Structure 1
Amino acid sequence: MSSVLRRTVLTLLACAAAAAASPALAQAKMKVAAIYTVPVEQQWVSRIDKALKAAVARGEVEYVFSENVANADYERVMRQYAEQGNVLIVGESFAVEAAARKVAKDYPKVAFLMGSSGKPQAPNFSVFDNYIQEPAYLTGMIAGGMSKSGKIGLVGGYPIPEVNRLMNAFIEGVKEVNPKATFTVSFINSWFDPPKAKEAAFAMVDKGVDVLYAERFGVSDAAKERKVLAIGNVINTQDKYPETVVASALWHMEPTIDAALAAVKAGQFKAEDYGKYSLMKVKGSELAPLGSFDAKLPADLKAKVMAKQQAILDGKFTVKVNDAAPKTK
């Protein structure tokens, strides 16, 4: 090997070693952390986790998370992740708004993207929510058309805007198909208590309800045992309940997460409301494929639902956002 070639090879090897060791020369991955107050498999946070894992698979981020974090411990965990160099922290601040916003003020160079009922807080506290009222309306139409008794039951976690707007959209969808339908509404005051949700659903079935809106885990189990129908929320569980879950309103967090990551990467992250990324037109939500119920829906009902879906996508029909707590009626 000539001395020139030897020097060239050694130089290339040195550059490669330096690139491997130096974030400035190598393509550095963004460090992202998430904080969940419930188990990561709970439907709402599982959608955030799924979207962040997709970014990991693309090689864009390093991702860590904490689950089952108590409200009293939330601020400490947020500060810990901020101190560890994470450039984006994702979480749910519904029950810890004051603490979460305080942490964001203390770390202005860190981007915070939090599930929240409140407004964005300059300069770095952005909010998001599951604005999936559009497919929720469509599932309501299906429920109204599939119910034989006209009695619909809804079991939710807490009567907060994030839950209320989906229930109200579902109810309005039912009423479009069956104006005479009646509704029984119950909140279990927990984000993750399947046995309690199941008992609430049993009580409704005992009163003649034959379609259940499963805002929480446990409701579809009750529907399966009592041989009534269920409407899913946020995730599609029809594979587990092929004879029970007739339709679901799906939430896709990928548009929200991807928009936040792009803003952080470009150095342009600011306090914004990311709710718009949950709408159907940007693929932030959708009516799940009907699957095992595709052939069971009456043709006229399916046609009405598909027409309404197209009207939503075309901007010709807007699902009203109603954050008021729904009541039994």
Structure 2
Amino acid sequence: MTIGTFTISRRGLLLGGAAVAAAANLPRAVLAQEPVRMAGIYTVPVEQQWVSRIHIAAEALKAAGTVDYSYTENVANTDYPRVMREYCEAGVKLIVGEIFGAEAEAREVCAEYPDVAFLLGSSFMPDEAANPNLSVFDNYIQDAAYLSGIVAGGMTAGNIGMVGGFPIPEVNRLIHAFMAGVREVKADATFQVSFIGSWFDPPKAKETAFAMIDGGADLLYAERFGVSDAAKERGVLAIGNVIDTQADYPDTVVTSALWHFEPTLNAAVAAVQAGSFKAENYGTYSYMIAGGCSLAPLGTFEGKVPAEVMALVAEKEAAIKAGSFTVAIDDSEPKSS
């Protein structure tokens, strides 16, 4: 593991370019103080859609001089606690990452280093008594997923395939929200739902999607990488998740539910700077009303989605942002129709 360095690569330039652009939108409170030593610990490559959002937000703060950011990727769950300890011993003051596969062990490390702030993706809520320095988050972007479902409802004959990573609450709520959006337009739509048991296995996701297309799906919900590849090869449509991949699939991806990690990370860094970081649920910073998610522009599909469908999207989006409409949260495991 290398701490305090950054390897220049094509992917770094691509991710870093977005980070520099985002830096201009940072609040003054975040920009005002000495850089916070921050580390990212990721179990997958930084290109993976979920982790890429964290990485881009961190690079934005690094570009602004707000954090001194290093990271380690492809960390096995069994090795996660060791990497956490190494960063803590190196003097890092804020650690960001995901501990879905190492909950108990990671929380033990947090307890060992009470002077380090931890902001970690988790399926469980914070425990102030056991870990007062551990805040949790996830991409609770059900608002954007719901709106993307409305778009999908206007573009399908009614058979939709949905490929997810694991049936954990954070994923389940997105799938349910998407299905609720579809039903606003296509009440009798049916869904094929499958989980591949991995956060990053594009070949498996692709094969699962192929099976759904063979089962009649004419539109796919791409919660995982690999699904849009299957859609492209078979000539069906797809709806993306977390990042906008339309540039890579201009005739396939209609829109995407986008996650913006900046509100989450900016709030955490500001709390560290102020000496007020404590155990909290940062998941609400992913809500649309907090600026944590949005619906990607239609781009190449502009004018191809029925006007009445986009009018409904605009109406619901305005209501969500105004706080007059709340997308229902259902964390139960979704099933095929």
Q: Does TM-score exceed 0.5, indicating one fold? A: yes
Q: CA deviation digits over 1:284-317, x for unaligned, max 9?
A: 1001111111111111111111111111111111
- Looking at structure 2, the residues matched to 74 and 121 of structure 1 have their Cα atoms a distance apart, in angstroms, of 20
Q: Which residue of 2 aligns with 1:77?
A: 83
- Looking at structure 1, the residues matched to 323 and 127 of structure 2 have their Cα atoms a distance apart, in angstroms, of 30
Q: Which residue of 1 aligns with 2:227?
A: 219
- Looking at structure 1, the residues matched to 294 and 238 of structure 2 have their Cα atoms a distance apart, in angstroms, of 17
Deviation, 1:28, is 3.7
* The one of 45, 54, 79 aligned to 1:48: 54
State the Cα RMSD in Å: 0.8
Q: CA deviation digits over 1:56-88, x for unaligned, max 9?
A: 010111111110100110000001111111100
- Looking at structure 2, the residues matched to 51 and 265 of structure 1 have their Cα atoms a distance apart, in angstroms, of 17
Q: Which residue of 1 aligns with 2:102?
A: 96
- The 5 A counterparts of 1:141-156 are 141-148=150-157, 150-156=158-164
Q: Secondary structure at the match of 1:146?
A: coil
Structure 1's unaligned 5+ residue stretches are 1-26
- The 5 A counterparts of 1:143-182 are 143-148=152-157, 150-182=158-190
Deviation, 1:119, is 1.3
Q: Which residue of 2 aligns with 1:188?
A: 196
Q: CA deviation digits over 1:30-70, x for unaligned, max 9?
A: 11001000111000000000000000010111111110100
Structure 2's unaligned 5+ residue stretches are 1-32
Deviation, 1:207, is 1.2
Letter of the 1:81 counterpart: Y
CA contact (8 A) 1:101 1:121 kept: no
- Looking at structure 2, the residues matched to 32 and 121 of structure 1 have their Cα atoms a distance apart, in angstroms, of 22
* The one of 122, 131, 151 aligned to 1:116: 122
Deviation, 1:208, is 1.0
* The one of 43, 61, 83 aligned to 1:37: 43
Aligned residues: 302
Letter of the 1:57 counterpart: A
Q: Which residue of 2 aligns with 1:282?
A: 290
Deviation, 1:281, is 1.3
Q: Which residue of 2 aligns with 1:6?
A: none
1:140 equivalent in alignment to 2:149? yes
- Looking at structure 2, the residues matched to 198 and 253 of structure 1 have their Cα atoms a distance apart, in angstroms, of 27
- Looking at structure 1, the residues matched to 335 and 125 of structure 2 have their Cα atoms a distance apart, in angstroms, of 26
TM value normalised by structure 2: 0.89
Letter of the 1:314 counterpart: A
Q: CA deviation digits over 1:71-130, x for unaligned, max 9?
A: 110000001111111100001011111011100100001000000111113210100011
TM value normalised by structure 1: 0.91
Letter of the 1:120 counterpart: P
- Looking at structure 2, the residues matched to 322 and 28 of structure 1 have their Cα atoms a distance apart, in angstroms, of 41
* The one of 309, 314, 332 aligned to 1:306: 314
Deviating beyond 4 angstroms after TM superposition, the runs of 4 or more aligned structure 1 residues are none
